Amino acid sequence: MMLKPKTKEMIKGRTEKEYRAVNMDSSSSLKEFSVDRRKYYKRYILGEKTEEKDTQAALMGRVVETLLMEPEEFDNRFYMSSLVSAPTGLMLEFVEALYKYTVEATDGEGNVTRSFEDISREAYVASGFKIKYDAVINKFIGSDAEIFYNEIRQVRSKGLSVVTADDASMAERIVEELKTNDFTSQIVNLVNSSRYSVFNQMQVEGYSIDGLKLKSMLDKVVVDHKEKTIQIYDLKCVWAVENFYEEYYLYRRAYIQAYLYHQAVLQTTSLHDYEVLYPKFIVCDSGNYNAPLLYTLDMDDMEDAYNGFEYKGRTYPGVKSIIENLKWAVANDKWNISKQNYEKKGMLNIKG
Is a pLDDT exceeding 70 seen at residue 73? Answer: yes
pLDDT band at 7 (very low <50, low <70, confident <90, very high): very low
CA dihedral 57, 11, 293, 257 (to 10 degrees): 70
pLDDT of residue 16: 74
What is the rounded average pLDDT of the residues 241-257? Answer: 97
Going by C-alpha positions, the residue among 271, 211, 216 that lies closest to residue 22 is 216
Q: What is the largest CA-CA distance in the chain?
A: 69
% of the chain surpassing 70 pLDDT = 94
H-helix or E-strand containing 232? strand 229-238
Q: What is the mean pLDDT of residues 146-150?
A: 97
Q: For 50, phi and psi rounded to 5 degrees?
A: -125, 145
| Residue 49: per-residue pLDDT | 75
- Comparing C-alpha atoms, which of 241, 221, 229 is closest to residue 249? 241
Q: What is the pLDDT of residues 314-328, one digit of tens each?
A: 999 999 999 999 999
Contacts 24+ apart (CB under 8 A), 9-14: 9/204, 9/205, 9/206, 9/268, 10/199, 10/202, 10/203, 10/204, 10/268, 11/203, 11/204, 11/205, 12/203, 14/203
Q: 283-307: per-residue pLDDT in tens?
A: 999 999 999 999 999 999 999 999 9
The whole-number pLDDT of residue 51 equals 64
Its pTM stands at 0.89
Q: For the chain, what are the domain ranges?
A: 9-40+175-339, 82-164
Interval 327-349: pLDDT, tens: 999 999 999 999 999 999 989 98
| Element housing 280 (H / E) | strand 280-285
Q: How confident is the model at residue 54 (pLDDT cuts 50, 70, 90)?
A: low
CATH number of this structure's domain 9-40+175-339, picked from the four choices 3.90.320.10, 3.55.50.30, 2.60.40.10, 3.50.50.60: 3.90.320.10
pLDDT (mean) for 238-256: 96
Closest CA relative to residue 178, chosen from 312, 60, 38: 60
Average confidence (pLDDT) over 74-96: 96
